[in-house]
């Protein structure tokens, strides 16, 4: 079975929003059936995105090799959603299954949704799923819509408990923690004081020990029982 150490955060660059530098992270999962990669960072973007966000990307190949993985060894790619800072290096993986929710692929057909060429490149092997699906033993895709219509997260079973890779389901760990607390209040009959997404019920069923996000270097950990 996997451990916490088999779920590796990759820093793949940053962008600027309201004068704040926002980190861009992907995740490498060392699975017995081969490495799985969640999100691929950012590469070339259109002029409008460049002018608004000033993205700075880090080589995904370099990030993978820093952990002893060659790009050609990646067994599967999962995009939490299809904005350019999450699927920017998809084209490094011709023939490799790239898993997205069908609702996300439909949303990405809208002009300006993502950078052209990131989805329909030569050899693209886009695998569309609907709802919750076990992708590999111990790794489940979970629909977590909100930031986009087809946003998804991953739940990874480890010996220490479930790790949730939440992508951009929340922008920050503090936002997740506030929503988690609001849900706990609501389910105990108290006034939550804050709306929370209904899919948190499913996350709670998985009893996560850790939650990591794409745009925050902090880690949420469950309180010790």
What is the domain-level CATH number for residue 214? 3.60.15.10
* pLDDT reported for residue 149: 97
What Cα–Cα distance (Å) separates residue 149 from each residue in 58, 60, 82, 114? 27, 26, 11, 14
Average pLDDT over residues 52-61: 93
Task: State if pTM tops 0.95.
Answer: yes
Average pLDDT over residues 61-69: 98
Is-contact 61 37, C-beta < 8 A?
no
- Quote the percentage of the chain above a pLDDT of 70: 99
Angle at Cα 203 formed by Cα 200 and Cα 207, nearest 5°? Answer: 130
* pLDDT reported for residue 115: 85
* pLDDT reported for residue 98: 98
Q: How many domains does the chain have?
A: 1
Q: What is the pLDDT of residues 138-151, one digit of tens each?
A: 999 999 999 999 99
Q: What is the pLDDT of residues 90-139, one digit of tens each?
A: 999 999 999 999 999 999 999 989 888 899 999 999 999 999 999 999 99
Q: What is the mean pLDDT of the chain?
A: 95
* pLDDT reported for residue 50: 85
User: What is the span of the domain harbouring residue 101?
Assistant: 4-221
Given a cut of 80, whether residue 224 has pLDDT beyond it is no
Of 75, 71, 46, 47, give the one whose Cα is nearest residue 59.
Answer: 71
What is the b/e burial string over 112-124, where b = at least 16 CB atoms within 10 angstroms of the residue's CB?
Answer: ebbbeebbeeeeb
Question: Predicted confidence band at 51 (pLDDT cuts at 50, 70, 90)?
Answer: confident
Given a cut of 70, whether residue 225 has pLDDT beyond it is no
């Amino acid at each position: 079975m996997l451990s916490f150490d088999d779920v590796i955060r990759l820093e793949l660059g940053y962008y600027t929003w309201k004068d704040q530098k926002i980190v861009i992270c992907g995740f490498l999962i060392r699975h017995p059936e081969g490495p799985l990669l969640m999100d691929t960072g950012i590469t070339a973007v259109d002029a409008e995105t460049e002018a608004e966000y000033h993205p700075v990307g880090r080589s995904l190949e370099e990030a993978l090799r820093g952990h002893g993985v060659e790009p050609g060894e990646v067994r599967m790619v999962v995009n939490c959603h299809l904005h350019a800072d999450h699927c920017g290096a998809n084209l490094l993986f011709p023939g490799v299954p790239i898993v997205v929710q069908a609702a996300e692929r439909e949303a990405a057909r809208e002009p300006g949704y993502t950078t052209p060429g990131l989805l329909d490149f030569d050899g693209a092997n886009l695998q569309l799923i609907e709802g919750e699906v076990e992708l590999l033993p111990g790794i489940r895709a979970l629909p977590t819509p909100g930031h986009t219509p087809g946003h998804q997260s991953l739940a990874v079973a480890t010996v220490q408990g479930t790790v949730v890779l939440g992508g951009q389901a929340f922008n920050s760990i503090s936002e997740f923690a506030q929503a988690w607390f609001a849900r706990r209040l609501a389910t105990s009959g108290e006034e939550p004081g804050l709306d929370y997404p209904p899919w948190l019920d499913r996350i709670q069923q998985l009893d996560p020990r850790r939650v990591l996000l794409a745009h925050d270097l902090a880690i949420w950990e469950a309180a010790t029982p």
